[in-house]
Amino acid sequence: MGCRLKVFLTDEQKLTLEELRKAKDVPQRTKDRAQVLLLNTRGLKNEQIAKGLNWAISTVRQTLHRWEKMGLAGLWDAPGRGGKARYSESDLAYLENCLAQESQTYNSKQLANKLACERQVNLSADRLRRVLKKRGRRFESTRKQPQEQNN
């Protein structure tokens, strides 16, 4: 077993990590990493920290090494995780322009086909509907609403 990695924090760093651990808009993994540093500073061994967080000991060590190398920035995940968007902002602007200018109403499947044919961007109808809804754009269904009958 190698020597134990002990992290020494200033009072300012401790305060920053405490605030980070309690922040609401910070990812849970980042909060956990801050907790690891605080527990290490309080004298807990890596095995105890790992057991308390239900982590592997190597993950605790990795967190401590990342702190030593990168400081506060080492607590966040590296950018580039997850899938990349298959569409660009200009593709969505094109669709919104089509919806605004053309008199035809489109459903999500028709919009997905239009995007595939004219811009070579392949999105499923469901995904396209969610993206447009998230942007606050609603489009009308092509189904006709039943007309009210006058009595």
Based on the domain organization, do 66 and 93 belong to the same domain?
Answer: no
Give the pLDDT band (50/70/90) at residue 144: very low
Average pLDDT over residues 61-66: 95
The alpha carbon dihedral of 44, 48, 49, 52 has a sign of negative
Q: Which domain holds residue 122?
A: 89-134
| pLDDT reported for residue 32 | 95
34-60 pLDDT, tens per residue?
Answer: 999 999 999 999 999 999 999 999 999
Query: Alpha-carbon distance 73 to 110, whole Å?
Result: 44
Residues 53 and 104 in one domain: no
Whether 71 and 17 map to the same domain: the answer is: yes
Q: Given a cut of 80, is residue 126 above it in pLDDT?
A: yes
Structural domains in the chain (count):
2
Residues 99 and 46 in one domain: no
pTM flag (> 0.95): no
Give me the pLDDT at residue 103, please: 83
Residue 117 included in any domain: yes
